[in-house]
Structure 1
Amino acid sequence: MDDLDRAILSALAADARCSVATLARRLKVARSTIQARLERLESSGVIAGYTVKLGEAARHSRIRATVLLTIEPRAQASVLSRLKAIPEVERAHTTSGRVDLLLQVAAPSTTVLDGILDQIGEMTGIRSSESLIHLSTKIDRTV
């Protein structure tokens, strides 16, 4: 990756809908150069996809929780398989601390979130769970 690649990535991080023509104008290079760079960045896996960044109104309309799970020995694969089937489970991270999995869950209401937490807690293979409901965000550096 060179400076042009980094400039393209920076521009797309700010606005994923930026057209090839606009990128070319901003970066003062030919459209064909931008197109070739994008194809190379995509095929090499540097660019995995293009997305929409939700605004404050959309992000704050959901109730979020972090769920800490302790898993029975050798049950992690089956637990993860069942967690993937729950659309409200946005992320699952393995950890090296006192818990085995850290989940990020988002639901449209506390009622739905309560049901999801019950569903997760009742899964076979889960030894214990602890839920932390997000109240407010003080720092957000997500792109």
Structure 2
Amino acid sequence: MSRTTVQARVESLERRGIIVGYTARLAEEISRRMVRAHVTIVAAPKASAAVVSALQRMPELRALYSVAGVFDLLAVVEAEDVPSLDAAIDKIGALEGVERTQSSIILSTKFER
């Protein structure tokens, strides 16, 4: 296909809401240096929306999931070093409406899709 045809097709997919955004992936050598953790969060029932809003503003959070079970939310936190990760986890725990957290530092990635 020509470049113009591909551009027109991508623009059409964007207009129709099929393509809604783009993601940049870091080179493995950069990504490997980052420290990550899964942080499970229990939020006060009436504070859940405010907690989610506050977490969304934290640049260290890469993803936030609503989960079923003992915890309400699962956050994926990423930082350049352990002290920065520790500070981010402390910041999560200090948020108004956060009742409890539990953190699991990711030691290695076995595979990722």
Larger Rg: 1
Task: Indicate how the Cα distance of structure 1 residues 74 and 109 shifts in structure 2: closer, same or farther if over 3 A, else same.
Answer: same
Instruction: Determine which structure has the larger strand proportion and give its number.
Output: 2
The one-letter amino acid paired with 1:34 is V
Q: Which residue is 1:82 aligned to?
A: 54
Partner of 1:121: 93
CA distance in 1, matches of 2:111, 2:6: 34
- Alignment equivalent of 1:42, drawn from 1, 5, 14: 14
CA RMSD of aligned residues (A): 1.4
**Gapped runs of 5+ residues in structure 2?**
none
**Cα deviation, residue 33, structure 1:** 3.0
1:54 corresponds to 2:34: no
List alignment gaps of at least 5 residues for structure 1. Answer: 1-23, 25-29
Which moved further from structure 2: 42-51 or 66-75? Answer: 42-51
Which of 1 and 2 has higher RCO (CA within 8 Å, sep 6+)?
Answer: 2
Cα distance in 2, alignment partners of residues 88 and 129 from structure 1: 16
What TM-score does the superposition give when structure 1 sets the normalisation length? Answer: 0.73
Structure 1 residue aligned with 2:63: 91
CA–CA distance in structure 2, aligned partners of residues 91 and 135 of structure 1: 18
Measured in 2, the distance between the counterparts of 1:82 and 1:32 equals: 42
Aligned letter for 1:39?
Answer: E
**Who is 1:71 aligned against?**
43
